[in-house]
Amino acid sequence: MKYLGRTGFKWSAALGLGLVSATALAAGQPQPAPAAAPQPAASPAATPAPVPTATPSASATPSASATDLAPPVIAPQLPLDEPVMAWTVADAQQLLGVIKGLDAEGLFPADYEPKALAAAIAAGPGPALDAQASKVFAWVVEDVRDGRTRMDARVQWFVVDPDVEANPTHEVMARALATGDIAGEIAKLAPSHADYGALKAMLARTPVANKAGRSLIRANMDRWRWLQRDLGKYYLLTNVPEFQLRLTVNNEVIRSYRTVVGKPGKTATPQLAEMVENVVFNPTWTVPQSIVVGEGLGPALLANPARAARENYKVTKAKDGTIYVVQQPGDGNSLGRMKIDMPNEHAIYLHDTPSKSLFNTPVRAYSHGCIRTERAVELGMTMAILAAGKTPQEVTDIFLSKQYTKVPMTTQFPVYLTYFTMATDINGKMGTFRDIYGRDAPVIASLAAPRKPWDGKRKTTEQVIKLDNPL
What are the tens digits of pLDDT across the range 160-210?
999 999 999 999 999 999 999 999 999 999 999 999 999 999 999 999 999
Could you say which DSSP state residue 57 is in? -
The pLDDT score that the predictor gives to residue 65 is: 34
Full domain range(s) for residue 319: 287-326
Asked if 457 and 77 touch (Cβ cutoff 8 Å), the reply is: yes
Classify residue 130: in a domain, yes or no: no
Q: What is the pLDDT of residues 304-326, one digit of tens each?
A: 999 999 999 999 999 999 999 99
Q: What percent of the chain has pLDDT over 70?
A: 82
Classify residue 302: in a domain, yes or no: yes
The pLDDT score that the predictor gives to residue 48 is: 33
How far is Cα 348 from Cα 340, in angstroms, rounded to an integer? 10
The pLDDT score that the predictor gives to residue 290 is: 84
Q: Is the pLDDT of residue 148 over 80?
A: yes
Classify residue 23: in a domain, yes or no: no
How far is Cα 63 from Cα 386, in angstroms, rounded to an integer? 21
To the nearest whole number, what is the mean pLDDT of the chain? 85
Q: Which of 161, 119, 160 is nearest to 136 (CA)?
A: 119
Classify residue 322: in a domain, yes or no: yes
User: How confident is residue 457, by pLDDT bands cut at 50, 70 and 90?
Assistant: confident
The pLDDT score that the predictor gives to residue 469 is: 63
* Residue 173: CB atoms within 10 Å: 23
Could you say which DSSP state residue 206 is in? S
The pLDDT score that the predictor gives to residue 78 is: 52
Number of domains in the chain: 1
The pLDDT score that the predictor gives to residue 295 is: 87
Classify residue 145: in a domain, yes or no: no
Quote the radius of gyration of the chain (alpha carbons, Å): 24
Q: What is the pLDDT of residues 110-126, one digit of tens each?
A: 999 999 999 999 999 99
Neighbour-count burial for 136-171, b at 16+ CB within 10 Å, e otherwise: bbbbbbbbbbbbbbbbebbbbbbbbbbbbeebbbbe
Classify residue 410: in a domain, yes or no: no
Classify residue 306: in a domain, yes or no: yes
User: How confident is residue 377, by pLDDT bands cut at 50, 70 and 90?
Assistant: very high
Classify residue 305: in a domain, yes or no: yes
Q: Where are the alpha helices (DSSP H) in 304-348?
A: 305-310
Q: Is the pLDDT of residue 50 over 70?
A: no
pTM: 0.82
Q: What is the pLDDT of residues 424-449, one digit of tens each?
A: 999 999 999 999 999 999 999 999 99
